[in-house]
């Protein structure tokens, strides 16, 4: 089974009325991929599907269907593909789907019937036969599916290998792909709260447990070196990172480099981790020259997000995460921070997953996720990383919004996040800003907004304006 659709075609299967075409069109836009409906492609050659059934019979149509799917899957450019509800009954189609990432759009048969009754579809003329057909096809959908989803966010999350579910921690053995051994890397503080549950869930697969210092202290070269020395996995093993963004960063970088790369699965326990840090395959440690300057891209085989873990989160960590939620809401043009916690986690995770699938190596539009972070990283560096990340991001958002000419949005962010300006050296902060990873020739390249939901990336402004915006975030 494929863990995600990063390098694969994404194929949607499901019964009539499941919404494969409607949802597939939206998913294709979210992922920046072309959309292909195999039924529509067949009909584009001049004959409707009901007429093909009538003229050639269902068996001949299934042959056309398999041929069309093979043609689309042979394309180099990865696509979102919707196939007919009965395509999975053909053995050749099921075999072709082994090389794709398949999402099953499961649907209640009563709802499906209400959507297709009277549509003229060849297999939707009698309700009793319709229900019997639904029942007969369920095993085929289950056989080919890598994941099950019901809406656009669910499909995007599945395509990225992200699983969001209350109680997911207790399902780790099922959710971490593969059958090989697992070594658990956990924040020492988190290990005392959730470590036993994680170990029990992993059961016989658990081979070892490694603890890291809490917070940003884990992202030191010495911590990574000690982790490398203690790992005993083979190439069939998986590293599971349990903790906040610092822990998953280190666990992911260890996985990217140990034995030239082993599988890994982050289990984020903070709001920052669940909506941002654990998604997208970026891993890194800090060095004296700056934050996250040494790292690698290493896409997880699964990201396991359990919003129930946030119940034990200290208020300061919750505020840190809320800043990333607000950032994501500004990028998507949705006040997602006003939603219930489980919903906001799922929505933010799906948004970031979509952006990262479009730009997995951070060579283009993924830079939008840096909104506010150029200023935030400069403030963190000037504070010797004693400034909480969320507080720094909240301040950075204020600067970005003011430079974007959106004072009303800046006021709203200030009302929601109420960041406190730190007392740090302005010159040190300015020097750090020039070293930002997105800088070019020592000049910062900013992410700004034309409006909520309309980011601009790689934007340069005169140094005086940027310096003034940075200085306005510093007390004294």
CATH of the domain at 456: 1.20.1090.10
Q: What distance in Å separates the CA atoms of residue 307 and residue 169, rounded to the nearest whole number?
A: 10
Coil, strand or helix at 244: coil
Please state the domain count of the chain: 3
CA 346 to mean position of chain CA atoms: 10
Indicate whether 92 and 111 sit together in one domain: yes
Element (H, E) at 454: strand 454-459
Half-sphere exposure (CA, 13 Å, Cβ side) for 136?
A: 12
CA distances (Å), 27 to each of 153, 337, 354, 438, 464, in order? 8, 23, 9, 29, 42
Q: What distance in Å separates the CA atoms of residue 54 and residue 357, rounded to the nearest whole number?
A: 41
**Helix residue ranges, H only, 203-294:** 221-230, 245-257, 271-272
**Helix residue ranges, H only, 37-108:** 38-43, 49-56, 58-73, 91-96
174 assigned to some structural domain:
yes
Coil, strand or helix at 2: coil
- Tell me which residue range forms the domain holding 25: 10-159
129 assigned to some structural domain:
yes
**Which tokens in the block code for residue 186?**
């956990």
Indicate whether 170 and 106 sit together in one domain: no
Contact 168, 197 (CB under 8 A): no
Half-sphere exposure (CA, 13 Å, Cβ side) for 220?
A: 11
Q: Write the pLDDT tens digit of every residue in 84-130.
A: 888 999 999 999 999 999 999 999 989 988 888 877 777 778 888 88
Indicate whether 210 and 146 sit together in one domain: no
Q: What is the pLDDT of residue 60?
A: 77
CA 12 to mean position of chain CA atoms: 19
Contact 322, 390 (CB under 8 A): yes
CATH of the domain at 124: 3.40.50.300
**Which tokens in the block code for residue 180?**
């090989």
CATH of the domain at 245: 3.40.50.1970
Q: What distance in Å separates the CA atoms of residue 2 and residue 99, rounded to the nearest whole number?
A: 8
440 assigned to some structural domain:
yes
Nearest 5°: phi and psi at 258? -70, 125
Q: What distance in Å separates the CA atoms of residue 427 and residue 413, rounded to the nearest whole number?
A: 26
One digit per residue, the tens of pLDDT, for the chain of length 476 reads: 789 999 999 999 999 899 999 999 999 999 999 999 998 888 788 777 777 777 777 777 788 888 889 999 999 999 999 998 889 999 999 999 999 999 999 999 899 888 888 777 777 788 888 899 899 999 999 999 999 999 999 999 999 999 999 999 999 999 999 999 999 999 999 999 999 999 999 999 999 999 999 988 999 999 999 999 999 999 999 999 999 999 999 999 999 999 999 999 999 999 999 999 999 999 999 888 777 889 999 999 999 999 999 999 998 889 889 999 999 999 999 999 999 999 999 999 999 999 999 999 999 999 999 999 999 999 998 998 889 889 999 999 999 999 999 999 999 999 999 999 999 999 999 998 987 766 666 678 899 999 999 999 988 999 999 999 999 999 98
Task: Give the distance between the most distant pair of CA atoms in the chain.
Answer: 82
CA distances (Å), 61 to each of 49, 57, 95, 97, 127, in order? 8, 7, 18, 18, 22
Indicate whether 392 and 464 sit together in one domain: yes
Indicate whether 169 and 304 sit together in one domain: yes
Q: How far apart are the first and last CA of the chain?
A: 57
347 assigned to some structural domain:
no
Q: What distance in Å separates the CA atoms of residue 210 and residue 228, rounded to the nearest whole number?
A: 10
């Amino acid at each position: 089974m494929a863990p995600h659709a990063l390098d694969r075609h994404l194929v949607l299967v499901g019964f009539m009325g499941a919404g494969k075409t409607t949802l597939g069109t939206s998913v294709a836009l979210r992922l920046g991929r072309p959309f292909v409906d195999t039924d529509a492609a067949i009909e584009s050659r001049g004959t409707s599907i009901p007429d093909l059934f009538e003229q050639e019979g269902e068996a001949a149509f299934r042959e056309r269907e398999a041929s069309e799917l093979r043609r689309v899957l042979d394309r180099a450019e990865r696509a979102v593909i919707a196939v007919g509800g009965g395509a999975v009954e053909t053995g050749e189609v099921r075999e072709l789907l082994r090389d794709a990432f398949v999402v099953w759009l499961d649907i209640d048969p009563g709802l499906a019937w209400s959507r297709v009754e009277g549509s003229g579809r060849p297999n939707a003329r009698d309700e009793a036969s319709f229900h019997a057909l639904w029942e007969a096809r369920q095993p085929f959908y289950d056989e080919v599916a890598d994941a099950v989803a019901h809406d656009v966010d669910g499909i995007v999350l599945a395509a990225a290998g992200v699983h969001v579910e209350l109680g997911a921690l207790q399902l780790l053995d099922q959710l971490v792909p593969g059958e090989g051994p697992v070594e658990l890397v956990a924040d020492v503080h988190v290990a005392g709260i959730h470590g036993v549950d994680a170990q029990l869930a992993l059961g016989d697969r658990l081979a070892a447990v490694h603890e890291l210092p809490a917070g940003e202290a884990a992202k030191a070269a010495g911590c990574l070196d000690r982790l490398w020395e203690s790992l005993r996995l083979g190439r069939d093993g998986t590293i599971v990172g349990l903790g906040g963004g610092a822990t998953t960063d280190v666990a992911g970088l260890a996985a990217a480099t140990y034995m030239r790369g082993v599988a890994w699965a982050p289990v984020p326990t903070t709001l920052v981790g669940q909506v941002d840090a654990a998604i997208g395959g970026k891993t890194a440690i800090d060095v004296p020259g700056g934050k996250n300057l040494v790292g690698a891209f290493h896409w997880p085989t699964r990201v396991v997000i359990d919003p129930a873990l946030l119940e034990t989160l200290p208020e300061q960590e919750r505020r840190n995460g809320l800043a990333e939620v607000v950032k994501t809401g500004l990028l998507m043009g949705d006040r997602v921070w006003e939603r219930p916690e489980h919903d906001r986690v799922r929505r933010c995770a799906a948004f970031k997953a979509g952006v990262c699938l479009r730009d997995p190596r951070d060579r283009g539009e993924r830079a939008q996720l840096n909104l506010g972070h150029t200023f935030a990283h400069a403030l963190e560096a000037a504070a010797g990383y004693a400034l909480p990340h969320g507080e720094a991001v909240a301040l950075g958002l204020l600067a970005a919004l003011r430079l974007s000419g959106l004072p009303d949005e800046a006021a709203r962010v200030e009302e929601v996040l109420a960041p406190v300006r730190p007392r740090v050296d302005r010159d040190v902060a300015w020097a750090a800003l020039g070293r930002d990873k997105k800088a070019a020739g020592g000049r910062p390249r900013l992410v700004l907004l034309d409006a909520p939901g309309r980011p601009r990336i790689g934007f340069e402004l005169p140094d005086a304006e940027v310096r003034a915006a940075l200085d306005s975030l510093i007390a004294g």
